[in-house]
Amino acid sequence: MKEINLASVLVAKRREKGITQDELAAYIGVSKASVSKWETGQSYPDITFLPLLAAYFNISIDELMSYSPQMERSDIAKLYTRLAADFASRPFEDVIAECAALIKKYYSCFPLLVQLVKLYTNHFMLAGTQERQEVLLNETVTLCERIQAESGDVQLAKEAVSYQALCCLALQRPQQVLDLLGEGIRPMLPEGMLIAQAYQVMGNIGKAKETLQTELYQYVMVAFQGLLNVLQMATDHFEKAEEAFLRASDLAQIFNMKQLNPNNVILLYALGARMYCANNSHAKAIELLGNYVDTCVGAFFPFELHGDAFFDLIDPWLKDCGAAAPRSEQVIKESMLRDVLMNPAFASLQDDPGYRRLVQKMERFIGR
């Protein structure tokens, strides 16, 4: 989106038309001094003159004001990356104030609003108090509702529903999550397969292959996340939890998860370590925490989702979806230590020399 820049547009269009300030003033019914002030940015025309000026130059009022309520997707991606980094380097409320100003300024640029919803969802926990966190989450819910009601874009609306559900979970409103998503799982429709077949019939084999790869990639990631959820929730059933861990480990190896999505891999190590620690298998827990730290230190940054030798057609789709990390590198590093290694679940390992070495290694990595 460009800033309102009526002055330069007036100058350019008047010169393009080959008229003087006097002639333009006479047509509009104002003094030459008024036109001069408009063109130098000292003042703006009265709102009633805008239709006359736009009609005279055969342009829209938006064009006259050099105003567009939209932002290009590439600019949105750059803005998201910059704001995510700002959360690690600037006061939290300053960044939130800038986000609020952007929401007001680009209130009908729905692709941007979805990314700001994503930004809030990934950073609300940095707010100073629980009350402030809840305020931000409620503001995010309101923004999600606007996107669903007014964007007119099915995919953006779906994303908004998902983020709204995440916010409702964080706000401890489980019934609202069920109201949004339904109380049961419906059969998945093979939309990607149908789209790919449509491209195939049209003779666009390359696009058909890309679509199939993209859908398969998503199914793999959903299956992996599902296994992690089973592992996390089966705390009272060690055998079931361990089976989920082993199956996820196999899936990670089969699909080269460390390269496709290293965040999934470190989550697997962290959850596996918690499971084994809770069942007094301390040596196995420390082994997995060692894998966790090694992956964080050596194979995680710079974080950006991408394909591999098998998923060799999905990079454009990932880039369009926003493949960069949802939070800044420093914020992620702090979370790696705070939320995992320093988690109370590992209190029984505090005196273990191997565990202390892992903590020290991570502290050096994040610059403490």
3-state secondary structure the chain: CCCCCHHHHHHHHHHHHCCCHHHHHHHHCCCHHHHHHHHHCCCCCCHHHHHHHHHHCCCCHHHHCCCCCCCCHHHHHHHHHHHHHHHHHCCHHHHHHHHHHHHHHCCCCHHHHHHHHHHHHHHHHHCCCHHHHHHHHHHHHHHHHHHHHHCCCHHHHHHHHHHHHHHHHHCCCHHHHHHHHCCCCCCCCCHHHHHHHHHHHCCCHHHHHHHHHHHHHHHHHHHHHHHHHHHHHCCCCHHHHHHHHHHHHHHHHHCCHHHHCHHHHHHHHHHHHHHHHHCCCHHHHHHHHHHHHHHHHHCCCCCECCCCCCCCCCHHHHHHHCCECCCCHHHHHHHHHHHHHCCHHHHHHCCCHHHHHHHHHHHHHHCC
- The CATH architecture of the domain made up of 6-64 is Orthogonal Bundle (1.10)
pLDDT, residue 117, reads 97
pLDDT, residue 68, reads 61
Domain boundaries, the chain: 6-64, 73-181, 204-366
| pTM to 2 decimal places | 0.72
Distance CA 122, CA 131 (A): 17
Q: Which amino acid is at 230?
A: V
Same fold, 6-64 and 73-181: no
**Mean pLDDT for each consecutive 10-residue tract of the chain (368 residues)?**
74 92 93 93 90 90 76 88 90 96 91 96 93 97 96 94 97 97 86 94 97 96 96 93 98 96 96 96 97 93 91 92 74 89 93 95 88
- CATH class entry, domain 73-181: mainly alpha
